[in-house]
Amino acid sequence: MLGHELARSSRVRPALRKCRSSRGSTKVKLSILVNEGPYTHQASDSAYQFTKAALEKGHEIFRVFFYHDGVNNGTRLTVPPQDDRNVQKNWSELAEKHKLDLVVCIAAAQRRGILDEGEAKRHNKGEGSANIAPGFRISGLGQLIEAGIEADRLVVFGD
Amino acid sequence: MTTLHMVNKSPFEKNAMQSALGHALKGDAVLLFEDGVYGALKGTTVASELGRIAGEVKVYVLGPDLTARGLGGDGRIADSVTVVDYNGFVDLVTTHQRTQAWL
Amino acid sequence: MSNIKKFLYLNRKAPYGSIYALESLEVVLIGAAFDQQVSLAFIDDGVFQLAKGQDTKSLGVKNFSPTFRALGDYGVTKLYVEQESLSERGLTAADLMPITYEDENDGFAEKPSINVVSRSELAGIMREQDVILSF
């Protein structure tokens, strides 16, 4: 039942060694898990603020993994009111600026209608129905395990 | 090999803070954030639990979450609790060997 | 990925009222393929995930409790259940599903996977972990 996820979890990033900054404080490699969608629970906002602060302090973010309703952070179709923050866009922009690896869980994404080109085609959802936001990619739960293995710390944000 | 326990629930709604404090060991830290910040207030029915572990376990509260909820003023927070910002949050994560989220 | 880490899956939520218990189990099954040291902890309402006699037919959702009994086949053999959490809820170990594994280092003898431990023992187990995943 879970074979497709295993198959997609094979992408392995080279492990980076811990390094020290010029100020001597230890740089740490972090992975982030986001379990809730935007706009209902604060988890995604907290995760974003935390990630931004960690990057500004010079730490490395190995991966941000979105699970459960957290996959809803990764749709390009959100249109929040102009006086509200755009959570999805914030993530996409942070990813572009810092070359972040934003991964949404494939099983959770499929349940909730978050598709990339390949998935949209595979499930015959029609032209243009891929809605994964820029900077995000869809992959298996193995990516979460790998994020736990490769990072020095895994920080979980959820409900 | 200490742990940062992250609590984001009000102790008046869920037992996350009580459970975290019940499992925290000497040298661990607890961060109260999101709705967890209500657990840092002075004069509540749960404030004594913070006092009970003071000295063994350090308790922090996330300032931006306090301020957002109108609790940023002087004297609202129990004396044993330290206010940190997101930079302090990051430091807490990196200076403890693991984080444990009490969702 | 040559380094082996200790992963603890921390379960504090009851099943069916939300998706978290089921999806935690999905991660455990996937994670089993990564040859890490895995254990599961059940505290607070998480102990209800292991209750005997679950039957979801009337709900139209999947009863995932039998999956716990298959964990041994995935090499996941350490399920810690907190005694205090059981007692608070009027439960004893006898109210939980029997979950066993075959110990390949002991002539495939059938052994219980569930270990009922005290809160202080569990706190010690948590401190030995490299990664704690909570849902």
Q: What range does the domain containing A92 cover? A: 27-157
Q: Is the pLDDT of residue A12 over 50?
A: no
Task: Identify the pLDDT of residue A13.
Answer: 41
Beta strands in A75-120 (DSSP E): 102-105
At residue C135 the predicted structure's pLDDT band, cuts being 50, 70 and 90, is confident
Q: Which residue in C52, C35, A13 sits closest to C15, CA to CA? A: C52
Helix (H, G, I), strand (E, B) or coil at A111: helix
Task: Identify the pLDDT of residue A45.
Answer: 98
Task: Name which residue leads in pLDDT, C63 or A7.
Answer: C63
Domain count, chain B: 1
Q: Which residue in A125, A141, A134 sits closest to A78, CA to CA? A: A134
CATH number of the domain bearing residue B85: 3.40.1260.10
**Catalytic residue (one of A100, A105, A106, A151):** A105
CA distance A130 to A67: 19
Task: Identify the pLDDT of residue B54.
Answer: 87
Domain count, chain C: 1
CA distances from C45 to A78, A82, C85, C90, C115 (A): 35, 41, 7, 12, 17
For residue A105, indicate whether it is catalytic: yes
Identify from C6, C7, C11, C12 which residue to disrupt to test chain B contact, counting B C-beta atoms within 10 A and taking the largest count: C12
Q: What range does the domain containing C41 cover? A: 6-134
Radius of gyration, CA atoms only, chain C? 15
CA distance A123 to A126: 9
Is C112 within a domain? yes
User: Which H/E stretch holds residue B61?
Assistant: strand B58-62
Instruction: Please count the residues of chain B.
Output: 103
Under 8 Å CB pairs connecting chains A and B tally to 53
Is A3 within a domain? no
Q: Is this complex's ipTM strictly greater than 0.85?
A: yes
Q: What range does the domain containing B24 cover? A: 3-102
pLDDT tens, per residue, chain B with 103 residues: 899 999 999 999 999 999 999 999 999 999 999 999 999 999 999 999 998 898 899 999 999 999 999 999 889 999 999 999 999 999 999 999 999 999 9
The three state secondary structure string of chain C is: CCCCCEEEEEECCCCCCCCHHHHHHHHHHHHHHHCCEEEEEECHHHHHHHECCCCCHHHCCCCCHHHHHHHHHHCCCCEEEEHHHHHHCCCCHHHECCCEEEEHHHCCEEEECEEEECHHHHHHHHHCCCEEEEC
Domain count, chain A: 1
Task: Identify the pLDDT of residue C2.
Answer: 54
Do A14 and A116 meet the contact criterion of CB atoms below 8 Å apart? no
CA distance B83 to B59: 9
The pLDDT tens digits of the residues spanning A79-112 come to 999 999 999 999 999 999 999 999 999 999 999 9
Q: Could you count the other beta carbons within 10 Å of the beta carbon of residue B16?
A: 24
In chain C, which residue's Cα lies nearest the Cα of A34?
A: C135
Task: Check if B23 contacts C (Cβ < 8 Å).
Answer: yes
Residue B19 with chain C: CB contacts under 8 Å: 12, 43-44
Mean of per-residue pLDDT scores for chain A: 89
For C:27-56, CB contacts with B below 8 A are: 43-44
Residue A43 with chain B: CB contacts under 8 Å: 8, 34
CATH number of the domain bearing residue C42: 3.40.1260.10
CATH number of the domain bearing residue A66: 3.40.1260.10
User: Which H/E stretch holds residue B60?
Assistant: strand B58-62
